[in-house]
Amino acid sequence: MEKYTLTVFSKAGETLLDESFDAASEKEAKDTGEKRLAELGYLDSTHRCTNSRGKLVLFHR
């Protein structure tokens, strides 16, 4: 398992969400991140999901 961080930003640049979760693969992390974004209504907001080494696995601007 690897730790991933999901972050959401407002149009003004402030952080709206910054939470971490564990996933077994990048695909699982992407799916988990998208599910969480949908739950919170942030799919259309600027967001990113990175692994613990900083690799970007999900991004929307």
Domain ranges of the chain: 2-60
Instruction: Please write the tens of the pLDDT for every residue from 18-35.
Output: 999 999 999 999 999 999
Distance CA 15, CA 53 (A): 20
The predicted model gives 2-29 an average pLDDT of: 97
Q: Residue 23's pLDDT is what?
A: 98
Q: Measured between alpha carbons, how far is 55 from 16 in angstroms, rounded to an integer?
A: 21
pLDDT of residue 11: 93
Predicted local confidence at residue 53, as pLDDT: 95
Check residue 51 and report its DSSP letter.
E
- The pTM (predicted TM-score) of the whole model is 0.93
Distances in Å between the Cα of 47 and the Cα atoms of 1, 7, 40 are 22, 6, 12
Predicted confidence band at 61 (pLDDT cuts at 50, 70, 90)? Answer: very high
Residue 42 CB coordination number (10 Å): 17
